[in-house]
Structure 1
Amino acid sequence: MWGYLLQDKTYELENSTFKFTGKERDKESGYDYFISRNYNSKIGRFLSEEPITENIFSFSPYSYVMNNPLNLIDPFGSDWFFDDELQDWVYELDASFIIDVVADYETGETDTKIRTGVREFAIFNGAEFKWYERSGRLYSWPAVSGLYLENGKSRGELQQFEDVGPIPEGEYILSPKKTYNFYYDLLYGNEKIRNFSKWIFEYNSWGFYKTQIIPNSDTRNNIINLGRKPETFYLHGGTSPGSRGCIDLTNWNNQFHTLFYRAGRNLNLIVNYE
């Protein structure tokens, strides 16, 4: 009974059920009671899932890496990283930069081109977004880009027009570390709370999720030469087909982001209008 234990509530008394963690020791079972589950110190394991953090990803202790603790680990040294200073993909990093990669998701981009041995990529052709998953599975969703469509397809000839034309052709990276959603942003400030109210009013144009589309160095230079801004492209949803340059998955946005979130890895994207 909790009422009978208060007089002995100190870690200095051997007979106290409260130890240095402040959790209650169950003398009968030998387990430590951590409010919602028991812990067995002999094997170093909890005996059941934590009912909140294991089932609601927004509350997970690993939410900072989108629930994938291995997101920034490269045990075989085969990953490529995007260097913000060089504005290019590199595989040789000095020690200080490696530390930055582990500590800061902003510099932890990973290239998944075929040259690394990973044969996984996505293609957007102006009408469809296809994801060739590394297991061999193919996902395909209707998708468009740009304000002016022709027979439900993007007009690639308008890609030089900012806020009107579709996303320019080239190679990009989609990273789960650059995925934002309403609830995650409200709790953890990924997009900052000051922008949250604005996003609510733009739900019809964005949907619940959006992932920034990051161009490689050559594509970035091409975008700048076209007079457009390389950091303004996103993959998102919405209620009506069309965008100001982003890739719009409309009603299929949630389905893609659910699969993308579960995969927990970067995806190479090729934009090529047929």
Structure 2
Amino acid sequence: MKPAAAEPVRVQAAEAPLDKGQNPVWAVISTALLGGFIWWITGSWVIAVALIWGLLVHEFGHVLAMNRLGMGPARIYIIPFLGGVAKSQRLPQSEWHGVLVSLAGPAFGLLAAIPFFAGFIATGHGAWLLGAAVIAAVNLINLAPAPPLDGSKALGPVLAGIHPMVERVAMMAMGGLVVWWGFTTGRWILAAFLAIALIGHLKRGTWRPDGRPLTRRESVFSVGLFVVTAAACAGVGVAALMPLGNGSLPAALDIAGRYLGMGG
């Protein structure tokens, strides 16, 4: 009688530990450093508060979407003098989820403008409206289809559905254009941030993220949501700038452009 064969020992791979997040003390210090830097550059504490508050609400929109779509627990990380980024624990299950996460930041980020409209109603001081306009401008510029801004993550999968090379060429061309615009207009932080991102994309072997590609129906919805989000950002910005006069639009765009390298 043959002895019973021993069953093979199965070793289960240990799951990667979850990211514990940024140290709270360091997060507070980083936020204070960033806010103080913006206040020193702009000379306005209202603008500094608007950019910090707008950044946090924008990133929190990404976090909410990540957690809702099973990518959490997501967290916000503050980077001194640069801004913040929302990081998930898991990749999106599909490109559609990636689109929703990318657009959640600018869409939710517009809510940050509400206290600044309230501040203008209470005080009548135009700086509050400029703060609201800067928040809208940051979210609008973030929709530019240039890596790694939110616009590239929302429209990139749609272009990839036509052909992967269409996405690559379009994203690189738009990214190069924004970098050139940033350097030629003195927006050094934005230009350097995007230039580093473009180099990283060129070095990456895999262009598309993991996950199920967009269906045709999802592609249509992606473009529609992108247009609606961009229109909402522009609408909030116009509503804030109208009482201030024509000269406020360049100022809001300039402030937003100089410090957009903060967002992600």
Pairwise same-fold verdict (TM > 0.5): no
Greater per-residue helix proportion? 2
TM-score, L = length of structure 1: 0.23
Higher relative CO (Cα under 8 Å, sequence separation at least 6) belongs to 2
- Of structures 1 and 2, the larger Rg is shown by 1
Greater per-residue strand proportion? 1
